Structure 1
Amino acid sequence: MKIIDIAPGTKKVSDLIKVLKNRSTPAPDIEHMKKQLDPKKHDINDAGFRPDKPIKTDKGPDTVKVARVSVALQKKIIGLGSAFAFGNPVQLNTEIEKERKDLKELLKALKKVLKKNKTLSLDRKIYKVISSFTEIAEYWYVVPVDTPYKGYGFDSDFKIRVSLFNPKEGNKLFPIWDDKGDFVRFSREFTRYDIDNKPIEHFETFTDEERVLWKKSTTDQDWVEVSKSTFIYKKMPIVYGNQDEVDYYDVEDLIKEVEVLLSNFDDTIAYHAWPKIFINGKVVGFAKKGETGGIIEGAPNTDAKYLSWDHAPESVKLSLETKLRLINSLTSTPDISMDSMKSIGAESGFARKMLFMEPHLKVRDKEEIYIPYMERRYSIIKTLLGEINPKFKSIIDDLEIDPELTPYMIDDEEGALNLMTIATGGKQILSQKTAIARSGIVEDSEAEYDLILAEQKAASQEDVFGPGTV
């Protein structure tokens, strides 16, 4: 599709861009989401939401600053979710016949493209952005090189690169699908700065045929074309991912209540942390500071007693623990602190699996977003590889890749070995050579194995002849 055909009849670029700014899904409230992710900008720190306390003093009215305790639970929910989903690399499952060496070479080149673009850390970032701002897009493209590049297993005049369009960084995204559900065009609006550090608005649109970049004119504020490129391979090089709500959407109010509860409790502690004495009557004299066995002297019929704070801390503790438990449960976020792990006996592999069941199920639920995302990414990379290496062009559709997310889990090799030993009736399941290689405590497992065999041979000869035998 040509971009000019999207809105036929429009004469001004500004009218065309108005059409291109339509999107198939509601735009996220980025500023609200940024506020939620920054504890310093939470409502608890807003004097309008939690005003300081007016008091009366001997000198007249005054104001006491109240406690403001903000917690970064939103970041924790998103960070742990990212670690569980992409703590391990995405598995690329394929079925390639032995004689199809060309497909194996294409798969190897695709994996090298992913590695060169650091997609292991890129995937974690993508998860965090989608979970925090509900959407993101990535743009795959080729850049020419001066000398042949050998990083993909063949000589190439181009490198394959990727750029993220992150809403947090000021990118406004405009994805469009047609009635058939096909991703037909994508636009983004962003700001760049000139040499005088003045902001200049830019607008960029992609279709399966071309990419056009405009910028706002500094004179008449109309849009002018900056660059235009054509895609001869007829594929839009954009991967777009989104979800309906942020990961912490269901617990925003609970987090706010936790912050209010902690702030109120902090204020209360400030007033009642040290013993206070209530006196009914007239005080004649006080004991000196630090005086042992000091007393308060009062007039006749004066009564003095300590103010006690008996049940309030327990009720606050119960309320706080209940809210935190609900937050973790509703977002499938486990409490993996050292105290928690010890209290539930999570030293065994089975206990850890039970602890991580909810976040693992959350990863499976997220596959509805990330499996189609990865499939489109691999499709674009295969197409680009076909463009920079013509021998791949006719086979890119023959290579089918099924991506699989592997939820993070702490290794329990001892438990796994015990289970396999029981399953085999107590028979040996690893050779000595394999065990040495997997131990990780020797540099050269082959040499170590040969040395062990030599020592065993020497020991067996000594056993045959016996000590002192002539």
Structure 2
Amino acid sequence: MATSKTLQDILALEDIEQKIYYLKRGRRTEQPDTAKNEADWKPSMHQINDETKYPKIKVLVKMEETQYEPETGEAKTVPAKYEKKEPNRISLPIEQDVVNIHTAFTVGTEPKLDCTSEDDKEKGVFETVKQVFKKNKLKYQNRKIVRSWLSEQEVAEYWYVVKDDSFWAKLKRKVAGLFGEKIPQYQLKSQIWSPFRGDILYPFFEDGDMVAFSREYEKKDLDGKTHKVFMTITDTMVYQWELDKTWEQNVERSFAHGMKKLPVVYAYRPDTLCSKVRSIRERLEKCLSGYADCIDNHFFPLLMLFGELQPESITGDARNRMMQLTGDGANAQYLTWNQTSDPIKVEIETYFNQIYAQTNTPRISFDQLKGTGNALSGTAFRYFFMSAHMAVQNHGEELGAFFQRRVNIITSAIGSLNAYLEKAADSIDIETEIVPFMIDSETDKVNTAAAAVSGGVWSTEHGVAYCSNYGELQDELQQIKEEKATTSKAE
């Protein structure tokens, strides 16, 4: 009976092409249909802009007529003349709007880091983690990650080290006693990999755990020549092979990364957020485009003339022009719509509502919020955005693990880079929590905190932490104590 190959068996193979083949086979989920996802994401690639599915409109320019030769009197039929007219093609960036709203609610408020430090070294590790977040601008990178996960189905974040002793020098001035005798020379940086960025991702799983991660992409050299690159990261090594007629290993870019954990964070979802409303969006674009064509063709009424018109009977200027029609049934009238277009309005509005309802997305616009009053309370806002918060909780099933694994990788890497903090990095416990974005009423928060503290339900520290947005918590508490002491002396 043949046994499956382990990661070590695969990396030991001499044939690079066979090695890459097995590394790709380690993936346990289907590859995203990037072409289809990109076509949904970019309005210019929507079906309404495809001429094979929505061809140009054949328009009658000149009707068929019969002409007679003046000399012979022979009848000659002149065929009708047609032209191809470009129809209205109204494509809507609905996927972008829905994904951006979900992204804002998920990480518009930066995920919360919670840590109870046991000693000064653990406090130093926690402070270093926060400094890594700040240095890498992760509060902005979080939005790119969530947006990619929702619209591309998968995303990866790769952490690596670069030489930069200024990072630790600044941290040393902020946290005294953080180092031993020697200041580290390296700091952590990260990259985002995703399908829209040209990356094909291959997570490698063994017994349910991701033990390696591979990335295939194309690289262009200075001569403009493009060739494939296959990169694999394990818990100890980084390997890179390049295809130039045959696969060859790039020795300079194959190295030991020096971290204790696999430095890649990965998130996957089986479908994009908007895949279930694709058909509704396509129908909506078709309705809007067809309605626009109808308006173009019939907005201005047509004048119908019945009878014989004598050119000399036309009198007056543009404002009071008159004409005389003679003969039986002589008449003039405008051809106008006798029925309103209410059904198409109802259909279009229904489709908009269905798209946002099925994706649990609030429609945030002036028209939608103008009827809610001038001063909504924080509680009212929570009810208004309840569906969005429920969606964030669902996203948290995958993204919560993603952000937690990132913190674990950074914490472990800090111990690897700074031997003085190695034991503290192993023992510290930092939890991360996704906090849905919310517009809060400051008055409601202060009243709630004041009532809870005065009623003995909360401590002063809890009350200040709940409603204060300024400075460090301990500094705020110390200021309150000093003001109370000053007031007592005055009395």
Structure 2-normalised TM-score? 0.81
> Equivalent pairs: percent with the same residue?
27
Match of 2:143 in 1: 124
Aligned to 1:69: 90
2:134 is matched with 115
What are the within-5 Å matches in structure 2 for residues 73-222 of structure 1?
73-97=94-118, 100-145=119-164, 149-153=168-172, 154=179, 155-178=183-206, 180-217=207-244, 220-222=245-247
Q: Is the 8 A contact 1:345 1:351 kept in 2?
A: no
The one of 400, 403, 406 aligned to 2:429:
400
**Which residue pairs with 2:420 in the alignment?**
391
Shift of 1:243: 1.1
Instruction: Quote the Cα distance in structure 2 between the aligned partners of 1:288 and 1:191.
Output: 74
Q: In the alignment, residue 363 of structure 1 is paired with which amino acid?
A: V
Distance 1:11 1:424, change over 3 A: closer
With over 3 angstroms needed to count, the CA separation of the structure-2 counterparts of 1:353 and 1:311, relative to structure 1, is: farther
Contact 1:278/1:306 (CA < 8 Å) preserved in 2?
A: yes
1:15 maps onto 2:21 in alignment: no
Q: Structure 2 vs 1, CA of residues 279 and 181 (structure 1 numbering), >3 Å: closer, same or farther? A: same
Q: Which residue of 1 aligns with 2:65?
A: none
* Aligned residues between the structures: 436
2:66 is aligned to: none
Name the amino acid aligned to 2:248: W
In the TM superposition, what is the alpha-carbon distance from 1:161 to its structure 2 partner? 0.9
Correspondence list, 1:410-425, <5 A: 410-418=439-447
**Residue in 2 that maps onto 1:340:** 368
Deviations 1:347-401 (A, max 9, x none): 4023322221111111111101111101111111111101111122223232222
Structure 1 pair 266–391 and aligned structure 2 pair: CA distance change class (3 A): same
Tell me, in whole angstroms, the C-alpha distance in 2 between the residues paired with 1:95 and 1:65. Answer: 65
User: Could you tell me how far apart the structure 2 residues matched to 1:116 and 1:151 are?
Assistant: 11
What letter is aligned with 2:337? Answer: W
**Cα deviation, residue 267, structure 1:** 0.6
The alpha carbon displacement at 1:276 in A equals 2.3
8 Å contact 2:258–2:416 — kept in the other structure? no
In the alignment, which of 276, 281, 292 is matched to residue 255 of structure 1? 281
3-state SS in 1 of match to 2:427: coil
Q: State TM-score, norm by structure 1.
A: 0.84
Q: In the TM superposition, what whole-angstrom CA distance separates every residue of 1:304-330 from its partner, at most 9, and x where no partner exists?
A: 322332544211111111000000101
Q: Does 1:292 align with 2:325?
A: no
Conserved? CA contact 1:85–1:363, under 8 Å: yes
Task: State whether structure 2 residue 277 is matched by structure 1 residue 264.
Answer: no
Secondary structure in 1 matching 2:370? helix
AA matched with 1:134: Q
1:381 matched to 2:410? The reply is yes
SS at match of 1:156: coil
Given residue 122 of structure 2, which amino acid in structure 1 is its aligned partner? Answer: L
**Mapped pair 1:37 → 2:33:** no
Residue 393 of structure 1 aligns to a residue in which SS?
A: helix
Q: Which residue of 2 aligns with 1:462?
A: none
Q: Single out whichever of 242-251 and 388-397 deviates more from structure 2.
A: 388-397
Q: Which runs of 5+ in 2 are unaligned?
A: 63-79, 173-178, 471-475
The match for 2:350 is 322
